Amino acid sequence: MQDPDILLTERLRERGLRVTPQRLIAYRVLRRLNRHVTAEELLTAMAERIPNVALPTVYATLDLLEELHLVRRIATVGGTAVYDPMKEPHQHMLCTRCGAIDDLAVNVDLSTVQAAATATGFQPAGLEVVVRGICQTCGRRSAS
């Protein structure tokens, strides 16, 4: 796996953007957590390394990382965004009862969707499949 610092530095420089300690730490922490996190969770984890980081800064950094295709923003039930450090391509299952988001390891070819969107003049930045429903834990709870 490529060093997160080097990867982020390269991506920022390609765009002529500044490499700041905050950006490096945000991405490093995300990669270390290696799971879906909210901006608040990332802020808490970052606070151990770098004091006085404000939540709007964390959101701005996450937006930037998404633009650089280093994290993926996942739509959730309540509207709280969850961020996913890019791993192997995967999709998500979303529980509409408890809000849990699980990875779904599956290979889907979304190129026809992308092509159709492009044909309308739209510029797709990302495609995802979200399976909505009831997770196993909630399913068991309602069964008992």
Q: According to the 3-state scheme, what is the secondary structure of 16-30? A: CCCCCHHHHHHHHHH
Alpha-carbon distances of 10 from 5, 17, 71, rounded to whole Å: 9, 10, 15
Beta strands in the chain (DSSP E): 71-74, 82-85, 91-95, 101-104, 130-133
**Taking the complex as a whole, how short is the minimal distance between the CB of residue 54 and Zn ion, in angstroms?**
26
- Smaller CB distance to Zn ion: residue 81 or 100? 100
- Find out whether 71 and 28 touch, Cβ atoms under 8 Å: no
- Smaller CB distance to Zn ion: residue 117 or 138? 138
- Smaller CB distance to Zn ion: residue 28 or 97? 97
- Smaller CB distance to Zn ion: residue 41 or 103? 103
- Chain residues binding Zn ion by CB under 5 A are 84, 95, 97-98, 100, 103, 135, 138
**Taking the complex as a whole, how short is the minimal distance between the CB of residue 138 and Zn ion, in angstroms?**
3
Identify which of 116, 132, 11 has the alpha carbon closest to the alpha carbon of residue 70: 11
Measured CA to CA, the distance from residue 31 to residue 35 in angstroms comes to 8
What's the alpha-carbon Rg for the chain, to the nearest Å?
Answer: 17
**Taking the complex as a whole, how short is the minimal distance between the CB of residue 70 and Zn ion, in angstroms?**
14
**Taking the complex as a whole, how short is the minimal distance between the CB of residue 36 and Zn ion, in angstroms?**
6
**Taking the complex as a whole, how short is the minimal distance between the CB of residue 60 and Zn ion, in angstroms?**
22
- Smaller CB distance to Zn ion: residue 116 or 127? 127
